[in-house]
């Protein structure tokens, strides 16, 4: 896969200003500003119910905030259909694994390329000319991802039979198959043991390094967050209370209070 | 095809010849991106030539050492070939070695260039780089994760291969300069005792011995081998490099370590070699899986395994077998052995070797009864592997076969000595050890105790220094007892004690996979290895197996006193990272009895439990401590049976 750095002319991939999001009476996000810089790893942290997942959904365009603007590459983004989100170059993984359980790891990853397939049902059915070449091209990309994530041994295993950590890896593979510019990871290390976490960290760093993908992740494991992120944004009760390098955030009094529950 | 090895007397000359006569025949395959990618001999040779030039430009000269570290990858095999083209000496290292182990070898061998597989190995070498003044450059094969490395000492192999239009005539002239007495490869022994020693093998050593082996087994370009054993092991060098060069067969590199079973099935090797541990592992896995089968299937399996045990080996040896036996065996082949062999990827196997360590006769016969032509190869790095080898239809599970052609064997004070064309040139920078091992007439001490039986087969009893005596004066050969125990599958490793003691005791390592499967079926809850290993039910399970072995031992007048009286299950698996096993997974007895001396003492003091704390090394080199209160269990023993005392 080619590096995507060159493609991104914008130093700011996404600029979110003054966003407010509420569900009925519940305010999930209150006047939140957030910039996502091209090529960085940004972690969003915060206690339970702080609005992290809501934030991620605003970024991905699933939730439309009642107030505020979301700029994607300098353009104001309007309401957008899910398949167009993928087309824009945003991919994500989910807190609860959302794979096709009966399908093999390979097929699951191949579904990630669905948006890139130029379909012609008739040719596909006959497996002729261009559609054959296209199939080979996609399979090649998928194999590169399998190689990258070191999951060759489970290529043909139905994902329902895989342990949790590997399922997470397949899900990451599917997101990568889209060749995204922005990758959203919702708790990629939740429920993993130390070894699986270390593997996952390495993959996240490698994705960022090798493909130049911008990554936004939500994570509870502070060790992981502080280790791999370039920047950390902290949410508490829907308000952004800190934003900066891991070191800056760590020493921020508000963050300490939010986590330790100072009166 | 018979070739004139007096002319083709070095690997570089053989390789050049292969590129002509076998030009479009597959030489090496690698599964990448899910597809087997094949290189022909011509391509392989071309790549090796280009790399040879590249290495020259980096300052590698005739006689210099170049180290190779990584899993079996075509580019690493090309590196070996390239080094040999210009007369440099390849020094393969174990890819699992920790940095300190590598440091010793790279320093001792005065390695100038290191070629490694990936980032993991680069990191290890970089860690010790400042202690290796002679090391100039590290080449890596897989660039993954190395993009941001700024060290000027590292470079990618690809940067050499990418060179366009080079003049290869210089390599040709270098090939002419190589002679058969030059060192072909330097292999470090795994070192059950002390530091590893660098064994120097000349082209003459290897070609003379390997051509004999090819002759015996009639290897040809139609054979297929899967290259999966560590490249630093002499076996891999002989089978995957030397024999492949001489016979022209193709070697296949699996996609990754985890995919080996699938890759094995896809390739269907005709020639298969594995240390006993691999054979034992396969058997264990098989038995575990059979336990999950339905009752009917299990019954069919057991019945036909009984049939195989009775007639299979004789059929394989082409001895006369009753028609009834043949019929049943054919039926068994249809229902059990055929599918089983297919599952293991061994359907096409023409010859299979076990080497490196002693293998229990029961395990050995199991495979032979399935119709797999498994043979024992007894050898040493110092002998260029081959000392003795079973021949077709002359296989005795209790021996290691008759002497290899061109090898003489004699027994002096119970110790096996040999000499022949394969005898190594000496240990690198260690004349003292060389003199201790080879005498003036060329006899090499093996350090193994053995006898030659009436059929001329060599029978190995044990490592000479391990064979001891019980206080009663009876011989105590730990390996024999250990192998008997290991056959049951739930025991992964055993260390038996008894020398200068009144009775025999042992440490057990359970096989996690097999015992975990048992636990699942019997609703035994556990949290991990330590927990499982300490459960009473597991102790009972192991005790049952030991009882069987004791019963067996009680029938032998020589060994009935070696029955196991007490045992304990260790709280951790013996591990090469902790130095308890060698890199080829042989038990380091001395170190174990020292480290766990407290436990040994407790076993002979009649204690019921013993507390132990041990340091463990994690894969990334960090250290931690684990402790446990180990139970010691007493065993029932039997009186000598059927033999008058």
Mean pLDDT of B186-198: 82
pLDDT of residue B284: 86
| pLDDT exceeds 60 at position B90 | yes
| pLDDT exceeds 50 at position B450 | yes
pLDDT in tens, B616-641: 877 666 788 888 888 999 988 888 76
Chain B neighbors of A147, CB-CB under 8 A: 32-33
Question: What is the pLDDT confidence band of residue A8, given thresholds at 50, 70 and 90?
Answer: very low
- CA separation for the pair B330, B572 (Å, rounded): 44
pLDDT in tens, A143-195: 999 999 999 999 999 999 998 889 999 999 999 999 999 999 998 988 888 88
CB-based contact A146 B255, cutoff 8 Å? no
Q: Among A143, A153, A209, select the one facing B256 at the smallest CB separation.
A: A153
| pLDDT exceeds 90 at position B508 | yes
- Secondary structure (3-state) at B95: coil
What angle, rounded to 10 degrees, do the helices at A194-211 and A164-177 form?
A: 10
| pLDDT exceeds 60 at position B322 | yes
Q: What is the 3-state secondary structure (H, E, C) of B229-241?
A: CCCCCHHHHHHHH
Distance from CA of B33 to the nearest CA of A (A): 5
On whether the CB atoms of residues B343 and B260 are closer than 8 A, the answer is no
Number of domains comprising chain B: 3
Please give the residue of chain B at the shortest CA–CA distance from A143: B33
| pLDDT exceeds 90 at position B210 | yes
Do residue B602 and residue B458 come from a single domain?
no
In angstroms, what CA-CA distances link A97 with A155, A162, A167, A198? 18, 12, 7, 19
B262 touches chain A (CB under 8 A): yes
**Contact partners, residue B17, CB within 8 Å, separation at least 6:** B3, B8
What angle, rounded to 10 degrees, do the helices at B41-57 and B11-21 form?
A: 140
pLDDT of residue A10: 61
CATH number at residue B437: 2.30.38.10
Distance from CA of A139 to the nearest CA of B (A): 9
CATH number at residue B592: 3.30.300.30
Do residue B440 and residue B573 come from a single domain?
no
Chain A neighbors of B256, CB-CB under 8 A: 150, 152-153
Q: Which of B173, B201, B229 is the last residue of a domain?
A: B201
Shortest CA distance to B391 belongs to which of B217, B262, B548?
B217
Do residue B532 and residue B448 come from a single domain?
no
Do residue B461 and residue B482 come from a single domain?
no
| pLDDT exceeds 60 at position B229 | yes
pLDDT in tens, B544-575: 999 988 988 888 777 888 899 999 999 988 98
CB-based contact B258 A210, cutoff 8 Å? no
Task: State the Cα angle at A133 between A128 and A139, rounded to 5°.
Answer: 120
Q: What percent of chain B has pLDDT over 90?
A: 62
Task: Say which DSSP state B173 is in.
Answer: H
In a domain, B354, yes or no: no
CATH number at residue B96: 3.40.50.12780
Q: Domain span at residue B24?
A: 11-201
Do residue B77 and residue B22 come from a single domain?
yes
Higher pLDDT, A7 or B101: B101
In a domain, B511, yes or no: yes
- CA separation for the pair B276, B54 (Å, rounded): 40
B148 touches chain A (CB under 8 A): yes
Cβ count within 10 A of residue B598? 14
Could you tell me if residue B323 is left (phi over 0), alpha (psi between -120 and 50 degrees) or otherwise beta? Answer: alpha
**Contact partners, residue B109, CB within 8 Å, separation at least 6:** B65, B67, B91, B186, B188, B198, B428
Shortest CA distance to A108 belongs to which of A178, A38, A57, A39?
A178
pLDDT of residue B643: 45
Q: How far is CA A15 from the centre of its chain?
A: 17
In a domain, B368, yes or no: no
* φ and ψ of B592, to 5 deg: -70, -45
Chain A neighbors of B147, CB-CB under 8 A: 209-210
- CA separation for the pair A234, A236 (Å, rounded): 7
Distance from CA of A30 to the nearest CA of B (A): 39
Mean pLDDT of B461-468: 84
With 0-12 / 13-18 / 19 or more C-beta atoms within 10 angstroms meaning exposed / middle / buried, residue B583 is buried
Mean pLDDT of B305-311: 92
Please give the residue of chain B at the shortest CA–CA distance from A206: B145
pLDDT of residue B642: 46
Q: Among B33, B145, B256, select the one facing A206 at the smallest CB separation.
A: B145
- Residue of B144, B260, B621 for testing the chain A interface, max A β-carbons within 10 Å: B144
Question: What is the pLDDT confidence band of residue B249, given thresholds at 50, 70 and 90?
Answer: very high
Q: Which of B445, B465, B485 is the last residue of a domain?
A: B465
Domains and CATH numbers, chain A: 1-89+180-263 (3.40.50.300), 97-179 (3.40.50.300)
- CA separation for the pair B106, B101 (Å, rounded): 9
In A127-237, which residue ranges form alpha helices assigned H by DSSP?
129-148, 164-177, 194-211, 222-228
In angstroms, what CA-CA distances link B224 with B219, B254, B348, B351? 10, 13, 9, 11
Question: What is the pLDDT confidence band of residue A261, given thresholds at 50, 70 and 90?
Answer: low
In B229-316, which residue ranges form alpha helices assigned H by DSSP?
234-236, 243-247, 260-267, 276-291, 295-307, 313-316
Q: Which of B201, B224, B243 is the last residue of a domain?
A: B201
Please give the residue of chain B at the shortest CA–CA distance from A145: B33
Do residue B447 and residue B504 come from a single domain?
no
pLDDT of residue B195: 83
DSSP string, A179-205: --SEEEEESTTTT--HHHHHHHHHHHH
Could you tell me if residue B581 is left (phi over 0), alpha (psi between -120 and 50 degrees) or otherwise beta? Answer: beta
DSSP string, B598-611: HHHHHHHTT-SEEE
Shortest CA distance to A91 belongs to which of A184, A14, A172?
A184
| pLDDT exceeds 90 at position B367 | yes
Do residue B487 and residue B551 come from a single domain?
yes
CA R_g for chain B = 25
pLDDT of residue B25: 96
Q: Which residues of A touch B (CB under 8 A)?
A: 139-140, 143-144, 146-148, 150, 152-153, 155, 202, 206, 209-210
pLDDT in tens, B402-442: 999 999 999 998 899 999 999 999 999 999 989 999 999 99
CB-based contact B34 A153, cutoff 8 Å? no
Distance from CA of A209 to the nearest CA of B (A): 8
- Secondary structure (3-state) at A103: coil
Do residue B152 and residue B20 come from a single domain?
yes
Comparing A199-203, B32-36, B576-580, which segment has the lowest mean pLDDT? Answer: B576-580
pLDDT of residue A130: 79
pLDDT of residue A229: 93
Do residue B47 and residue B189 come from a single domain?
yes
With 0-12 / 13-18 / 19 or more C-beta atoms within 10 angstroms meaning exposed / middle / buried, residue B170 is middle
On whether the CB atoms of residues B229 and B241 are closer than 8 A, the answer is no
- CA separation for the pair B615, B623 (Å, rounded): 7
Do residue B414 and residue B476 come from a single domain?
no
Helix (H) or strand (E) holding B510: strand B504-510
In B372-493, which residue ranges form alpha helices assigned H by DSSP?
431-437, 478-486
Q: Among B35, B147, B259, select the one facing A153 at the smallest CB separation.
A: B259
Please give the residue of chain B at the shortest CA–CA distance from A140: B33
In a domain, B16, yes or no: yes
Q: Among A139, A143, A152, select the one facing B256 at the smallest CB separation.
A: A152
B436 touches chain A (CB under 8 A): no
Mean pLDDT of B88-116: 94
In a domain, B359, yes or no: no
Please give the residue of chain B at the shortest CA–CA distance from A146: B33
Shortest CA distance to B309 belongs to which of B371, B216, B226, B217?
B371
Chain A neighbors of B144, CB-CB under 8 A: 148, 206, 210
Question: What is the pLDDT confidence band of residue B644, given thresholds at 50, 70 and 90?
Answer: very low
pLDDT of residue A132: 83
pLDDT of residue B95: 93
Do residue B31 and residue B143 come from a single domain?
yes
pLDDT in tens, B265-290: 999 999 999 988 889 888 888 888 88
Do residue B34 and residue B180 come from a single domain?
yes
Task: Say which DSSP state B63 is in.
Answer: T
In a domain, B147, yes or no: yes
pLDDT in tens, A35-86: 999 999 999 998 888 889 899 999 988 888 999 889 888 888 888 887 788 8
In a domain, B446, yes or no: yes
B33 touches chain A (CB under 8 A): yes
| pLDDT exceeds 80 at position B193 | no
CB-based contact A209 B255, cutoff 8 Å? no
* φ and ψ of B387, to 5 deg: -115, -50
CB-based contact B148 A209, cutoff 8 Å? yes
Mean pLDDT of B296-321: 92
B441 touches chain A (CB under 8 A): no
Task: State the Cα angle at B633 between B630 and B638, rounded to 5°.
Answer: 160
| pLDDT exceeds 50 at position B235 | yes
Shortest CA distance to B533 belongs to which of B610, B628, B607, B445?
B628
Residue-averaged pLDDT of chain B: 90
Pairing of strands A214-218, A41-45: parallel
Residue-averaged pLDDT of chain A: 87
In angstroms, what CA-CA distances link B82 with A1, B353, B354? 31, 29, 30
| pLDDT exceeds 90 at position B591 | no
Q: Among A143, A148, A206, select the one facing B34 at the smallest CB separation.
A: A143
CB-based contact B33 A140, cutoff 8 Å? yes
In a domain, B500, yes or no: yes
B622 touches chain A (CB under 8 A): no
* pTM reported for the whole predicted model: 0.86
pLDDT in tens, B339-359: 999 999 999 999 999 987 878
- CA separation for the pair B69, B127 (Å, rounded): 15
């Amino acid at each position: 896969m080619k590096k995507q750095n060159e493609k991104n002319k914008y130093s700011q991939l996404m600029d979110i200003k003054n966003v407010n999001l509420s569900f009925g009476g519940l305010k999930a996000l209150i006047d939140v500003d957030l910039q996502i810089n091209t090529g960085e790893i940004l972690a969003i942290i915060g206690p339970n119910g702080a609005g992290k997942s809501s934030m991620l959904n605003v970024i991905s365009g699933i939730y439309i905030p009642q107030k505020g603007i979301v700029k994607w590459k300098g353009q104001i983004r309007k309401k957008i259909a899910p398949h167009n989100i993928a087309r824009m170059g945003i991919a994500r993984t989910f807190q609860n694994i959302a794979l096709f359980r009966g399908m093999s790891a390979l097929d699951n990853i191949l579904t990630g390329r669905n948006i890139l397939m130029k379909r012609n049902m008739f040719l596909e059915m006959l497996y002729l000319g261009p559609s054959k070449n296209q199939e080979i091209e996609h399979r090649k990309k998928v194999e590169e991802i399998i190689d990258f994530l070191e999951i060759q041994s489970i290529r043909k295993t139905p994902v329902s039979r895989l342990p949790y950590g590997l399922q997470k890896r397949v899900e990451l593979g599917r997101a990568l198959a889209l060749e995204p510019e922005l990758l959203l990871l919702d708790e990629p290390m939740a429920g993993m043991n130390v070894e699986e976490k270390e593997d996952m960290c390495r993959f996240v760093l490698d994705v960022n390094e090798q493909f130049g993908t911008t990554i936004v992740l939500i994570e509870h494991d502070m060790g992981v967050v502080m280790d791999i992120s370039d920047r950390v944004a902290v949410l508490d009760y829907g308000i952004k209370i800190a934003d900066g390098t891991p070191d800056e955030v760590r020493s921020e009094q508000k963050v300490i209070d939010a986590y330790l529950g100072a009166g | 095809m018979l070739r004139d090895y007096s002319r083709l007397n070095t690997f570089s000359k053989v390789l050049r010849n292969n590129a002509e006569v076998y030009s479009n025949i597959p030489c090496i395959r690698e599964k990448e991106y899910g597809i087997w990618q094949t290189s022909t001999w011509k391509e392989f040779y071309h790549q090796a030539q280009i790399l040879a030039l590249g290495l020259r430009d980096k300052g590698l000269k005739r006689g210099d050492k170049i180290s190779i570290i990584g899993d079996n990858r075509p580019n690493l095999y090309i590196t070996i070939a390239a080094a040999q083209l210009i007369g440099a000496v390849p020094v393969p290292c174990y890819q699992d070695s920790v940095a300190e182990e590598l440091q010793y070898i790279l320093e001792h061998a005065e390695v100038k260039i290191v070629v490694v597989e990936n980032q993991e190995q680069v990191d290890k070498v970089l860690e010790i780089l400042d202690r290796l003044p002679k090391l100039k450059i590290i080449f890596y094969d897989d660039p993954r994760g190395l993009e941001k490395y700024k060290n000027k000492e590292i470079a990618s192999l690809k940067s050499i291969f990418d060179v366009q239009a080079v003049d290869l005539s210089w390599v040709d002239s270098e090939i002419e300069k190589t002679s058969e007495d030059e060192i072909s490869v330097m292999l470090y022994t795994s070192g059950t005792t002390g530091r590893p020693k660098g064994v120097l093998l000349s082209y003459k050593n290897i070609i003379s011995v390997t051509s004999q082996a090819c002759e015996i087994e009639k290897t040809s370009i139609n054979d297929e081998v899967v290259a999966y054993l560590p490249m630093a092991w002499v076996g891999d060098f002989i089978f995957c490099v030397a024999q492949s060069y001489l016979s022209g067969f193709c070697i296949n590199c699996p996609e990754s370590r985890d995919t080996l079973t699938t890759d094995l099935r896809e390739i269907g090797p005709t020639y298969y070699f594995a240390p006993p541990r691999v054979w034992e592992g396969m058997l264990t896995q098989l038995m575990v899986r059979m336990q999950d089968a339905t009752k009917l299937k299990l019954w069919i399996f057991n019945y036909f395994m009984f049939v195989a045990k009775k007639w299979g080996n004789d059929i394989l040896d082409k001895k006369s077998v009753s028609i009834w036996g043949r019929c049943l065996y054919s039926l068994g082949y249809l229902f059990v052995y055929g599918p089983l062999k297919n599952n293991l990827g061994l359907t096409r196997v023409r010859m299979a070797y076990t080497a490196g360590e002693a293998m229990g006769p029961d395990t050995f016969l199991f495979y032979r009864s399935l119709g797999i032509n498994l043979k024992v190869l007894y050898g040493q790095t110092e002998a260029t592997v081959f000392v003795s080898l079973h021949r077709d239809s002359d296989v005795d599970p209790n021996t290691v076969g008759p002497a290899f052609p061109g090898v003489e064997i004699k027994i002096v004070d119970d110790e096996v000595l040999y000499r022949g064309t394969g005898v190594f040139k000496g240990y690198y920078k260690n004349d003292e050890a060389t003199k201790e091992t080879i005498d003036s007439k060329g006899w090499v001490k093996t350090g193994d105790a053995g006898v030659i039986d009436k059929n001329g087969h060599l029978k190995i009893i044990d490592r000479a220094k391990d064979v001891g005596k019980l206080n009663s004066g009876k011989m105590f050969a730990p390996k024999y007892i250990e192998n008997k125990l290991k056959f049951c599958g739930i025991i992964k490793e055993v260390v038996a004690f008894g020398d200068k003691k009144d009775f025999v005791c042992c440490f057990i390592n359970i096989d996690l996979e097999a015992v975990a499967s048992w636990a699942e079926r019997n609703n035994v809850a556990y949290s991990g290895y330590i927990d499982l290993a300490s459960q009473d039910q597991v102790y009972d399970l192991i005790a049952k197996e030991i009882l069987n072995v004791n019963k067996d031992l009680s029938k032998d007048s020589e060994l009935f006193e070696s029955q196991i009286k007490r045992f304990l299950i260790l709280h951790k698996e013996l591990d090469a990272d902790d130095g308890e096993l060698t890199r080829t997974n042989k038990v380091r007895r001395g170190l174990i009895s020292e480290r766990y001396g407290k436990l040994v003492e407790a076993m002979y003091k009649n204690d019921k439990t013993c507390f132990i704390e041990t340091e463990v090394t994690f894969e990334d080199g960090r250290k931690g401590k684990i402790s446990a209160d180990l139970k010691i269990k007493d065993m029932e023993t039997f009186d000598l049976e059927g033999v008058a005392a």
